[in-house]
Amino acid sequence: MFQPVKIAPSILSANFMNLEADIDRIAKAGAGYVHVDVMDGHFVPNLTMGVPLLKQLSKATDVPMDVHLMISNPLVQIPWFIAAGADIITFHAEAVTEEEMVEAVRLIHEAGVKAAVSVKPKTPVEVLRPVIADVDMVLVMSVEPGFSGQSYIEGSDVKVAQVVAMAREAGNEPLIQVDGGIGVKTAPLVAAAGADVLVCGNAVFAAEDPAAALRAVEDAANEARLAALAKQGA
């Protein structure tokens, strides 16, 4: 059955001097989530935002908070982000051992929050095996995490399809999210491959009209998704 894609604008590309107005804009345009990029200057070279900001953001809007943790110690910090109002928490497979991966998902679920795990472009999807049957979402990075405004790495759509197949085999249907360099040109590729949630930083917030840009990406993705479904005869 056709399920429209959801857009998760990344506020890393928003105007920090006027965040409330930017969030209002994307909420009115129908954003599915607010994507919050947390970088610790260690797992990735960049340093961005954290708990105090999430606390305020989650109170300021009804749009669910999709928290992308690009940090080295997710097990320590996950409880902080839960308390700050995260609705979905994504941690990186590269930051944890297999046992810690299972433990992180358990910790997030125990708090009634949705759990997601992410793989960087060079990480094979096989590493997801310990949790693929249990996660609510898998985030496929289509750029090296660390900075917004990078170009989509070709072939990321193939990885999306691999995750869909792997999850299905395990009897799970997690949302598949793609993050990095997604815009009107690249959204159709990943949507056709099975992506459900598209993160957009610059494609939305660097546009003159962020609401129109969001809808344009959404339309392009849904069109490709419909065409892919028709091809499969679904």
Contacts with Zn ion, residue ranges (CB under 5 A): 37, 68, 179
Q: Hey, which residues between 116 and 145 contact ligand DX5 (CB under 6 A)? A: 143, 145
Q: Determine which residue in the list 109, 146, 161, 226 makes contact with ligand DX5, applying CB under 6 A.
A: 146
Beta bridge partners of 88: 66, 114
- Calculate the alpha carbon distances from 3 to 26, 175, 183, 226 in Å: 20, 11, 19, 9
Instruction: State the Cα–Cα distance between residues 204 and 81, nearest whole angstrom.
Output: 25
Instruction: State the Cα–Cα distance between residues 106 and 177, nearest whole angstrom.
Output: 20
Q: Rounded to the nearest whole angstrom, what is the least distance from the CB of residue 35 to Zn ion in the complex?
A: 6
Residue tagged active-site, from 22, 37, 66, 136: 37
Q: Hey, which residues between 186 and 225 contact ligand DX5 (CB under 6 A)? A: 199-203
Q: Determine which residue in the list 181, 188, 194, 210 makes contact with ligand DX5, applying CB under 6 A.
A: 181
Contact pattern from residue 50 through residue 89 relative to ligand DX5, giving x for each residue in contact according to CB under 6 A and a dash for the rest: ------------------x---------------------
CB atoms within 10 A of CB 36: 27
Nearer to ligand DX5, 58 or 118 (CB): 118
Could you list the active site residues? 37, 179
The binding site for ligand DX5 (CB under 6 A) comprises: 10, 12-13, 35, 37, 68, 143, 145-146, 148-150, 179-182, 199-203
